Amino acid sequence: MQNRKWRMGMVGGALDAFIGVVHRRAALIDGRAELVGGAFSRSVAKSQATGREYFLSSERIYANFQEMFAVERRKPEGERMDFVIIVTPNDSHYEIAMAALSAGFHVVCDKPMTTTLADAQRLERKVKQTGLLFCLTHNYTGYPMVKEARSLARGGDLGKIRRVVVEYPQGWLATRLEASGQKQALWRTDPRNAGATCCMGDIGSHCENLSEYVTGLKIKALCADLTTFVKGRTLDDDGSVLLRFDNGARGILWASQIAVGEENGLFIRVYGEKGALAWRQTEPDTLIVRRLDRADEVRRRATPFVSKASQAAAHIPPGHPEGFHDAFANLYRNFFKALAAAHAGRKVRESDYDYPTVHDGVRGMAFLEAVVRSSRAGGKWVKL
Amino acid sequence: MQNRKWRMGMVGGALDAFIGVVHRRAALIDGRAELVGGAFSRSVAKSQATGREYFLSSERIYANFQEMFAVERRKPEGERMDFVIIVTPNDSHYEIAMAALSAGFHVVCDKPMTTTLADAQRLERKVKQTGLLFCLTHNYTGYPMVKEARSLARGGDLGKIRRVVVEYPQGWLATRLEASGQKQALWRTDPRNAGATCCMGDIGSHCENLSEYVTGLKIKALCADLTTFVKGRTLDDDGSVLLRFDNGARGILWASQIAVGEENGLFIRVYGEKGALAWRQTEPDTLIVRRLDRADEVRRRATPFVSKASQAAAHIPPGHPEGFHDAFANLYRNFFKALAAAHAGRKVRESDYDYPTVHDGVRGMAFLEAVVRSSRAGGKWVKL
Amino acid sequence: MQNRKWRMGMVGGALDAFIGVVHRRAALIDGRAELVGGAFSRSVAKSQATGREYFLSSERIYANFQEMFAVERRKPEGERMDFVIIVTPNDSHYEIAMAALSAGFHVVCDKPMTTTLADAQRLERKVKQTGLLFCLTHNYTGYPMVKEARSLARGGDLGKIRRVVVEYPQGWLATRLEASGQKQALWRTDPRNAGATCCMGDIGSHCENLSEYVTGLKIKALCADLTTFVKGRTLDDDGSVLLRFDNGARGILWASQIAVGEENGLFIRVYGEKGALAWRQTEPDTLIVRRLDRADEVRRRATPFVSKASQAAAHIPPGHPEGFHDAFANLYRNFFKALAAAHAGRKVRESDYDYPTVHDGVRGMAFLEAVVRSSRAGGKWVKL
Amino acid sequence: MQNRKWRMGMVGGALDAFIGVVHRRAALIDGRAELVGGAFSRSVAKSQATGREYFLSSERIYANFQEMFAVERRKPEGERMDFVIIVTPNDSHYEIAMAALSAGFHVVCDKPMTTTLADAQRLERKVKQTGLLFCLTHNYTGYPMVKEARSLARGGDLGKIRRVVVEYPQGWLATRLEASGQKQALWRTDPRNAGATCCMGDIGSHCENLSEYVTGLKIKALCADLTTFVKGRTLDDDGSVLLRFDNGARGILWASQIAVGEENGLFIRVYGEKGALAWRQTEPDTLIVRRLDRADEVRRRATPFVSKASQAAAHIPPGHPEGFHDAFANLYRNFFKALAAAHAGRKVRESDYDYPTVHDGVRGMAFLEAVVRSSRAGGKWVKL
């Protein structure tokens, strides 16, 4: 039982960032948490401006995460922040997360979790050692109809899965946007911030995570063809990957940042022996369900015709669209439940709470390393 | 400039209500307001449970709105609630709003504003007298692509408007749900709570408001055919209305609660001499724009291809769907801006802040009275 | 059993006409009929050009229908045309059809059947007297998924029908196209050719026919608001009609020729006590089926999941789209079956063959007369 | 100038076949050709039944193609068939086509053209030698909006092409349908009839052809992963292929016959530096066009907003859907134009007539051989 608002601290997420404000809205929407501190930017002015926007007292707007963790950990029980949200570029996730865990804070971290598989594995060990909670925001798993897809695919209604087709096309990097100084483009296309991959790391990793989340299968081998279409760029801005899953299923994964006109077109289809499903982010309240023996069904969020798991993730009646923030908030909702259990002194198995964990982060980094390796070898099949 | 969180009180909106929680999320999502008090239900137990869920101190969970207003108005400046949210059934809106205004509180009120036109007009006078702010939550006007529709239609891009087709079909009252004791159904179908109309008042009024909001035209005459399809019900559960607008445009308005399979299918199409537009709530990020001289355009929220007004109402990148909560939050965002101006001692013209006001409420009641009058006369044309 | 190709004659349908060539394709597609004669235009040159395009011998390209009927009726059995297709503007249908029947020819006639109800009734009596076949090409009834809609609605699966919403928006007459001399626009907007109505007669009549075809209900009263939006035009180019059906169901019918951007947007929705359906011409292979107790179904043409009646009207596998010509051809297919029965000397009840007949034509004219009467009276309810 | 109907003979296409009747409808719909002879089946009874259905004289219903060609070539000029349609299973295309060409008949042949690349090349030489016309029915190129796609992609409006995503999912072979004796399934899954591939040959080849037709690019290397999911089957029933085009563009091609619920879901997307397009067979009258600098356009068949090439392929007004037969008929229409030119004694360059030729057949077989080779090698990149 939660008997007070959770106290949150944030690293990164200045006002001009995209994902920080999404995390804040997702955490605040239900009135079950409050932002109490932050190190929002390396620029003190930006950090202060961000903190003031959230009515933080100025002494809890910190110069950097080290200071924040050092000060906060010494605050008394009734005041100290409960957990830390990490929304910086990829390359600093590892260091900040390790420091947060070391300081005794639970963590919510944006993806991809690290820039190397080795770091991801170290982080996994650290989480285990500390017994703290770690939520990785693969946010698309928060959509109610993704949960319906998962219930269906894992519940056997589709029969043995044969084929996965997943894609995440975007068009925003079709030109050399980073040359204009646009911040989102700058760090994602810079190997120093992004790691070994741009497009695959940023959005291909969501495809990988969603595929495994929905089907329960594991990718065991892949063949990747990454490309850099825009001149002057060093990392991939488009890539396709053939997948083989552990049960023999085959997959195609396509991620692109140069697909002119595409916005955030995450789309997954799963085909089994008896049925199939299709879900796309731009129509998130709908899941198409197909069966050998009947006409296609259009399952809709929050109707009586979806599973308990899906219903539980829905918060308004059908036809009133839920969106990106609502799905994101579902991760926080589940994380808060785990937090309440932890605070009540119960032993928490994070997998019971249906949010992505440090293990998803390790899995994601294993995928990305394999993709890069395969592509660099000219498109060879490699095992995960 | 807002320099602290707005303090909100709520009347109605117990945990089992639909719209109360939507208001809370819409108000809380940006971290710019906090709920400080409430009279959530006539049941003290329910009210307490709701207040506890929001971590209210028990002394600010009130037995009724009278007590709340009496106590809160005496609180010191730095503590007293700033405004009141009214989310009770229709029949009590008037009394509560009058009391709130009399006690000096700004008001956010759910629609329809009252149950009679006379009450609506009295409330309009009261708002004028007190100089307080009054936001009526015709929430669909908060969608970014509705704002785009409005920019287009009012900006002359469509030419003179000729034809409006607007509909709001639902299916949830296709059977006699109220007999099961379902609370939402109970009060809406009961003339004592709902007033002279169920379906038209509940959702037809959104059609009316949206039509006038988007086009800037005024309905000047109408011919209505209300029907009660479900036995044992006294109020309308379906109705169609022919419209004539002040510029000569014609309209069709259809609202239904017995349209099996429909969820919240609000859909508006506007046709002018040179162009047309179509927007539906189930795909809220999209506006179809049609012109005599080119192929249809699919305008999308948050792209560079929409008006400043629409862009300003968008809060995440295109393709990441915004939904019902986000649109609802836009009303609060605008209301908070007006509140900041008022608190800064500036004279506030509410129409500058693009949220529905008490005048929309008067307009809505005039529409509903005309609809009921026309239908009772067997479908005669009546003037507004 | 058909043991030779049917021999067809055509009145109207010169090369520059729209509907004549559609009839020819629909009749020829299966190789079960051949065009043997025609009076395609009042212009001899046009008529000759059209006949040559179909490789007619020049002596069977006639100066006018009178000559054609006089010459053809005297031809020997094995050569004489079997039936006549009438595809002229509305005002001449009656005279030509009467002459064809008098000369002993079966008739396929475009809609609306006549320009007055009285003429329609006279034609109905003539058909009865002669015992000849008469197919009126309300072609939308030929779509396989319209037949599925009909099976559902009439078979009781939807429960008692409560509500019909039908519309046919077009945009091609949004400007004064007839001023350019465009032939299709010229005759449709000219009261001498079109009769008392343009928009309602041309496309509103399809809405009426489709509503009654699908539901089996009869419109018993209506209230119409016809408008002429384009200056210089005398007939309606837009109109909305409230409907009451014989079982108490209510309806809305909207037809427009000034709805910019709309093409041929025929769309029908039917709501009953237990279920609902939706079909639109632009996605003709799909029928949305809704039920109180399950998720929406997407029924698709030619699948095992549709009725025998619908399957029988499908001619290629699902997913390979059938279109306008295919639906039109279904009328001819059924008419040819009736023709074979008639030629075999059997007594033919046309209603057994599922094509629209002279009775649909009478019904259509009764509807149009009521619409015009209601609208002229300022939007009064009138009975059919 | 065509001054008489073209006389057609057919090999294959008995009444229970799928594609034969499609060819007949496509050829007959305009009244510009007549079926005069056929060897429709190895079963004389079936062949006779089929011929009678088309009112053929019994002496022109032949026991086999050899007899047909021998008899027909000796007929006098005014009676002899002009061309032969080959609609048998894949394995006999080569032999029949060679024989038809040797006998002096022009040929329309279904795809895939042969079962080996070597045969395809021999056929190409034969066509060149004889100077006869050869149309390969890659029918999807006949859709008006595919022609629009081609105009756009080749006309430079999209900029340099970077990415092609093409798929053709079907679900009809998700179970072992061939075990039931279903004829379509039987021959396609039998290596003796189908050649080295089932799924890729039958529908993947359409993806290949459509990609190159639309973009003008050539596939130069590929990496394929073919799978046989249904037990007891020897050929592929699903496959994915990574593509590299001659200009550096990348592609994904997916074809499946086990994608439960999919019908004939051919879908192609092309992304260039400045724009993109998307077309799917189930909505064939629509082409989505995307640009860097404006909102998406929905281009529609037969509107003034599409290219001349697309308009020329449209035969009814927008909104009245054209379908599979209409697109198929466009191949015949173009072939008939070439035929008229050839009969007029003009030298015909088939590429001027926009129908797929023997060269497309060679290209298709090269693709299929590369796919099979790559997949057998475990998914290695191979060059075409």
The pLDDT tens digits for B62-116 are 999 999 999 999 999 999 999 999 999 999 999 999 999 999 999 999 999 999 9
- Of D249, D254, D265, give the one whose Cα is nearest residue D216: D249
Mean pLDDT of B269-296: 98
Note whether A324 contacts C: Cβ–Cβ < 8 A: no
B122 shares its domain with B231: no
Contact: D264, C317; criterion CB under 8 Å: yes
Give the model confidence (pLDDT) of D57-101 as tens digits: 999 999 999 999 999 999 999 999 999 999 999 999 999 999 999
Mutating which of C242, C245, C270, C280 best tests the B interface, going by the most B Cβ atoms within 10 A? C242
Residues 174-233 of D with CB under 8 A from C: none
Contact: C296, A295; criterion CB under 8 Å: no
Give the model confidence (pLDDT) of C129-167 as tens digits: 999 999 999 999 999 999 999 999 999 999 999 999 999
Contact: A292, D260; criterion CB under 8 Å: yes
A135 shares its domain with A148: no
Contact: A297, C299; criterion CB under 8 Å: no
Mean pLDDT of A109-131: 97
- Domain for residue C161, yes or no? yes
Angle formed by the axes of helices D144-154 and D205-215, nearest 10°: 50
Structure tokens at C316: 């290629």
Closest CA in chain B for residue D294: B305
On the question of pLDDT at D193 being above 90, the answer is: yes
- Of C148, C145, C149, C143, give the one whose Cα is nearest residue C330: C143
Predicted pLDDT of residue C3: 86
On the question of pLDDT at B16 being above 90, the answer is: no
**Distance between CA atoms of residues A126 and C89, nearest Å:** 83
Predicted pLDDT of residue D150: 98
Task: Give the domain CATH number at D149.
Answer: 3.30.360.10
D38 shares its domain with D71: yes
- Of C30, C8, C12, give the one whose Cα is nearest residue C21: C12
Residue D39 CA neighbour count, 13 Å, CB half: 19
Mean pLDDT of D212-237: 98
Structural domains in chain A (count): 2
Contact: C254, B165; criterion CB under 8 Å: yes
Contact: D298, B303; criterion CB under 8 Å: no
Gap from D123 CA to chain C (nearest CA, Å): 30
Predicted pLDDT of residue B312: 98
- Domain for residue B265, yes or no? yes
C293 shares its domain with C165: yes
**Distance between CA atoms of residues C239 and B251, nearest Å:** 10
**Distance between CA atoms of residues B379 and B372, nearest Å:** 10
Closest CA in chain A for residue D293: A261
Position B60 confidence tier, pLDDT thresholds 50, 70, 90: very high
Mutating which of C287, C292, C298 best tests the A interface, going by the most A Cβ atoms within 10 A? C298
D130 shares its domain with D200: no
Residue the block writes with tokens 């019902």: B324
% chain D with pLDDT above 90: 97
Predicted pLDDT of residue C220: 98
Mean pLDDT of chain C: 97
- Of C215, C213, C164, C157, give the one whose Cα is nearest residue C351: C213
Q: What ipTM was assigned to the predicted interfaces of this complex?
A: 0.97
Note whether D296 contacts B: Cβ–Cβ < 8 A: yes
Mean pLDDT of D38-43: 96
Predicted pLDDT of residue D2: 85
Sign of CA dihedral A319, A323, A328, A332: negative
Predicted pLDDT of residue C116: 96
Distance of CA C370 to the CA centre of its chain: 19
Position C16 confidence tier, pLDDT thresholds 50, 70, 90: confident
Chain D residues whose CB is inside 8 A of the B289 CB are 295
Mean pLDDT of A156-184: 97
B124 shares its domain with B160: no
* Cα dihedral: A187, A191, A196, A202 (round 10): 10
Note whether C316 contacts D: Cβ–Cβ < 8 A: yes
Note whether B324 contacts A: Cβ–Cβ < 8 A: yes
Note whether B111 contacts D: Cβ–Cβ < 8 A: no
D25 shares its domain with D121: yes
Contact: C163, B291; criterion CB under 8 Å: no
% chain D with pLDDT above 70: 100
Chain B residues whose CB is inside 8 A of the C292 CB are 171, 174-175, 260
Distance of CA D291 to the CA centre of its chain: 30
Contact: B242, C238; criterion CB under 8 Å: no
- Of B181, B330, B173, B150, give the one whose Cα is nearest residue B263: B173
Cβ–Cβ < 8 Å for B114, B94: yes
- Domain for residue C1, yes or no? no
- Of C186, C208, C188, give the one whose Cα is nearest residue C136: C208
β-pairing verdict for D6-12 and C6-12: unpaired
Predicted pLDDT of residue A3: 86
Contact: A165, D162; criterion CB under 8 Å: no
| DSSP E strand boundaries for chain D | 6-12, 33-39, 83-87, 106-109, 134-136, 161-169, 219-227, 238-245, 250-256, 267-272, 275-280, 286-291, 294-300, 381-383
B-D contacts at Cβ under 8 angstroms: 30
Q: Which of A294, A303, A305 sits opposite C305 (nearest CB)?
A: A294
Contact: D316, C325; criterion CB under 8 Å: yes
Predicted pLDDT of residue B344: 95
Gap from A227 CA to chain D (nearest CA, Å): 8
Note whether C290 contacts A: Cβ–Cβ < 8 A: no
Position C18 confidence tier, pLDDT thresholds 50, 70, 90: confident
Note whether D298 contacts B: Cβ–Cβ < 8 A: yes
DSSP D82-124: -EEEEES-HHHHHHHHHHHHHTT-EEEE-SS--SSHHHHHHHH
β-pairing verdict for B267-272 and A286-291: unpaired
Predicted pLDDT of residue A18: 87
B245 shares its domain with B338: no
Contact: C303, A289; criterion CB under 8 Å: no
Position D17 confidence tier, pLDDT thresholds 50, 70, 90: confident
Chain A residues whose CB is inside 8 A of the C298 CB are 288, 295-298
Contact: A321, B170; criterion CB under 8 Å: no
Does residue C112 have a cis peptide bond before it, meaning omega lies within 30 degrees of 0? yes
B152 shares its domain with B299: yes
Q: Where are the alpha helices (DSSP H) in D131-231?
A: 144-154, 183-188, 191-194, 199, 205-215
Predicted pLDDT of residue A2: 85
Residue A95 CA neighbour count, 13 Å, CB half: 10
Gap from D310 CA to chain C (nearest CA, Å): 17
Q: How many CB atoms lie within 10 A of CB A375?
A: 23
Mean pLDDT of C256-284: 98
The total number of residues written for chain D in this structure? 384
C236 shares its domain with C375: yes
Chain D residues whose CB is inside 8 A of the A381 CB are 378-379
Task: Give pTM, 2 decimals.
Answer: 0.98
Mean pLDDT of C312-325: 98
Position D16 confidence tier, pLDDT thresholds 50, 70, 90: confident
Residue A134: in which H helix or E strand, if any?
A: strand A134-136
C351 shares its domain with C375: no
Q: Which of B244, B252, B290 sits opposite C261 (nearest CB)?
A: B290
C234 shares its domain with C131: no
Rounded to 5 degrees, φ, ψ at C268 are -130, 135
Mutating which of C238, C252, C256 best tests the B interface, going by the most B Cβ atoms within 10 A? C252
Contact: A298, C294; criterion CB under 8 Å: no
Gap from D127 CA to chain C (nearest CA, Å): 30
Predicted pLDDT of residue D113: 96
Structure tokens at B214: 């988007």
Structure tokens at B112: 């329809």
Cβ–Cβ < 8 Å for D13, D21: yes
Residue the block writes with tokens 């990574």: D242
Chain A residues whose CB is inside 8 A of the D272 CB are 260
- Domain for residue B322, yes or no? no
Mean pLDDT of chain A: 97
- Domain for residue B1, yes or no? no
Note whether C299 contacts A: Cβ–Cβ < 8 A: yes
Contact: D321, C284; criterion CB under 8 Å: yes
Residue C96: in which H helix or E strand, if any?
A: helix C90-102
Contact: D260, A252; criterion CB under 8 Å: no
Range of the domain at B88: 6-140+328-356
- Domain for residue D119, yes or no? yes
On the question of pLDDT at C1 being above 80, the answer is: no
Using CB atoms within 10 A of its CB, is residue A308 exposed (0-12), middle (13-18) or buried (19+)?
exposed
Q: How many CB atoms lie within 10 A of CB A346?
A: 10
Closest CA in chain B for residue A263: B319
Contact: A324, B321; criterion CB under 8 Å: yes
Closest CA in chain A for residue D223: A379
Task: Give the domain CATH number at D75.
Answer: 3.40.50.720
Ramachandran quadrant class, B125 (left: phi over 0; alpha: psi -120 to 50; beta: rest): alpha
- Domain for residue A22, yes or no? yes
Closest CA in chain B for residue A316: B18
Closest CA in chain A for residue C301: A295
- Domain for residue D51, yes or no? yes
Give the model confidence (pLDDT) of B31-53 as tens digits: 999 999 999 999 999 999 999 99
On the question of pLDDT at D3 being above 90, the answer is: no
Mean pLDDT of C172-187: 95
Spell D157-169 as b/e; 16+ CB within 10 A means b.
ebbebbbbbbbbb
Q: Where are the alpha helices (DSSP H) in B225-323?
A: 308-312
Mean pLDDT of A21-27: 97
Contact: A264, B318; criterion CB under 8 Å: yes
Give the model confidence (pLDDT) of D284-312 as tens digits: 999 999 999 999 999 999 999 999 999 99
